[in-house]
Amino acid sequence: MHVVVVVVVVVVVVVVVVVVVVVVVVVVAEVVVVVVVEVVVEVVVVVAVVVVVVVVVVVVVVVVVVVKVVVVVAVVVEVVIVDVVVVVVVVVVVVVVVVVVVVVVVVVVVEVVVVVVVVEVVVVVVVVVVVVVEVVVVVAVAVAALQDQYLRMIKWEKVT
C-alpha cells in the first residue's frame, strides 16, 4: 500500500510540475507577444509621423516652386495670378488634410490591433487559470480518495 501512495504522490507532483511549466511558458509567450506588438506599434507610429513630415515638406517645397514659376510666368505674360495662387493653396490644403487623415486612421487601426491582442492575452491567461484550477481540484479529489482508501485499509488491517 505504501508503494501505491508513493506512486500516486509522484504522479501528482509530476502533473503539478508540468502544469506549472506550461503556465509559465504560456505567460512568458503572451508577454513577449505584447512587447513585440507594442514595439511594432511604436515603429508604425514613428514611420507614419516621418512620412507625414516628409510629405508636408515636399508639398510645401513644390508649392513654393510652383508659385514662383507662376509669378514669373504671370509677370512675363502679364496675367492676373490671384486665381492660380488660390488654386495652388487649395490643393496644398487638401493634400495636407488627406495625409493627416491617413496617418490618424493608421494610428487608430494600430491601437485597435493592440487592444485586440491585449484582450486575447487576457482570455488566454483566464483559460490557463481555469485549467490550473481544474487540475488542482482533480489532484485534490484524487489525494482525498487515496487518503480515504488508505484509512479504510488501515482500519481493515486493525480489524483483522
Q: Render pLDDT for 104-150 as a digit per residue (tens, 0 to 9).
A: 777 777 777 777 777 777 777 777 777 777 777 777 777 777 777 77
- Low-confidence winner among 7-11, 55-59, 82-86, 96-100 (lowest mean pLDDT): 82-86
Q: What is the pLDDT of residue 125?
A: 74
Rounded distance, CA 139 to CA 135, Å? Answer: 6
pLDDT score for 35: 79
Task: Determine contact, residues 66/88, Cβ cutoff 8 Å.
Answer: yes
Three cell numbers written together for 53: 513630415
pLDDT for residue 5: 66
- pLDDT on residue 77: 66
Contacts of 4 (CB under 8 A, 6+ apart): 146
pTM: 0.45
**Residue-wise pLDDT tens digits, 47-91:** 877 877 787 788 778 777 777 777 777 666 665 556 666 777 777
Strands (E), the chain: none
Q: Which domain holds residue 40?
A: 2-159
Here the cell at position 43 is: 515603429
Number of domains in the chain: 1
Residue with cell 491567461: 125
Residue 1 has pLDDT above 60, yes or no: no
Q: Which pLDDT score is estimated for 51?
A: 79
d(CA 97, CA 85): 18
Q: What confidence score (pLDDT) does residue 33 get?
A: 76
What's residue 78's pLDDT?
A: 62
